[in-house]
Structure 1
Amino acid sequence: MTITRESVQELLKSEKFNDRITGINQLRQLDASVAFELIQPVLTDSNARVRYAAISQLDTIGDRDLPATLAILRDRLFNDSEPDVQAAAADVLGALKLTEAFEDLQQLYHQTPEWLVQFSIIATLGELGDLRAFPLLEEALTSPIELVQTAAISSFGELGDTRAIPILIPFATNSDWQIRYRVVQALARLGGAEVRATLEALANDTVEQVASEAKQSLAASCDNQ
C-alpha cells in the first residue's frame, strides 16, 4: 500500500486510536514539511498516548518551522495534563537545541510535582547546551530522587563546563553504582588531571561495569594525548 499525504491525513482524522497512532508513525515516510503540517491537529488530541507520539516526533520534523515548534512545545510543557507528554516536550526542546526555552524548563522544574517531568528537564539540559543550566543542574544533584541526580551528572558531562569537576568528584564514592557509573562518563567528557586521579580510583571499583567504564575512559584519554 502506497503511503500518501491523503492516506495519512485520513488516518489522523480517524476516530480510532490505533488509526491515529498508525498515521503518526507513517508521517516519517512523508516529506518533513508535509508531515509537520499534518501533525498539527493531533498535537492536542484527546488521547494522551496520541499526543505523546505526536510530540515525540517533532524532534525529527520540528525544524521545518522552529518558531512554531517552540510555541507548541511551550504550550505542552505547561498546559498538557499528562506528565508523559510534558516530559516528551522537554526532550524535544533539547533535541532541537531550542535554548529560548531554557527559562521555561527552569520554571517548570520548580513548579511540577512530577518526578518524571523533573527528570526529563534535567536530562535535556545537557543536550540543550546552555551554560545557564549550571546552577539548576547543581540544584538537581540534591534532589531526593536518584534518577534526577543521575540525569544531572550526565548533563554536567554533556554541558562540558569544567566547573562541574569538583562538584561531581564526591559522587565517585556514592553507594549507588549507577551514579558512580554516570560519574565516570561525565568526568571522562570533562577531562583534566584531577579527573584522571578519580577515574584511576574508579577503575578498581567493586562493580565491574563501573571499573570497566573507567578503564576504557583512561585508555581513551591516553590515546588522545
Structure 2
Amino acid sequence: MKLPNADPLTTTDAVADNNAWPLTIATYNIHGAVGTDGHFAPQRIVEVVKEVGADIVALQEVPLGGGGFPDVLQMLQDATGFEAVEGPTFKVGERIFGNAVLSRYPILAKRSLDLSVGKHEPRGALDADVSCHGHPLRVVATHLGLRPAERRWQIQRLLQTFDTDQMPVILLGDINEWFVWGRPLRWLVSHFESVPAPKTFPSRWPLFALDRIWIRPRHRLVHVDVHATPLARVASDHLPLIAHING
C-alpha cells in the first residue's frame, strides 16, 4: 500500500504524555541490497528486517524498481505485511532509488522534502504521519549528503520544516556525519537533546555512528542499540540501528 501525498494532521491530534505505549523504531541503510560480499541479494535485507522486528523502519538507498529491476520496498512490504511509503531521490539508468518507511501501524500522510544541493548527489527526506495506537507520530526519515556544507544546509532545512510541538517527532536515518563535534550534530543535539550513538558503519567492523535516531520529546526514548547479527554484517555495509520508545 503506497500512499499519495496528503496534508499533515491537525493540532487537535496532540498526544498526552501520560498515555505511554511501547514502540520499536529502526533505521537501516540497505546499500541498494548489495552486501559486503558484493552480491545483490534483496532477500537478505528482507530477513534482516524481519530479524529486527521493529514496528516502524526507515530505509535508505532502497531500490524502487524501474528498468525491469526488483522493487525491494515491495518485497519488504509483501514479507512483513506492513504499510509502506517511498521517497525517490535518484536514478541510475532506469533504476530508481530512494528513502522509504515501513510501518506496522497506519500511515496517515506523507510528504517528500528535496534536500538536494547543487550538482551533488540528490538527497531527500520522507516525512510521514503514523497513527500508533490511535496517537499521531511524525516520522522523518532521511539520508544526508557526503560533504559538510551539504549537511549543514540540509539540517537547517529539516529543523525549520518540523520545528513544531504539534506531535512527537522522530528524526532518523543515515546522517553521514563523520565529525562528532560538527555543527550539524550540535544543532541536532540542541533541538532534540543528546541521545546514544552506537557505531553502525562499516557493518563488518563498525567504526562510525553514521546512522542516528532522535525523538522529541527526549524522555520518550528508552534505549538505543545496534542489530549486529551475522546476517546483518553481510547484507549491507551499514548495521540497523534500533530505538525503544515509550510513545
Scaled by the length of structure 2, what TM-score is found? 0.27
Greater helix proportion: 1
Instruction: Tell me which structure has the larger Cα radius of gyration.
Output: 1
Scaled by the length of structure 1, what TM-score is found? 0.29
Greater strand proportion: 2
Q: Whose relative contact order is higher, 1 or 2, with alpha carbons under 8 Å and at least 6 apart?
A: 2
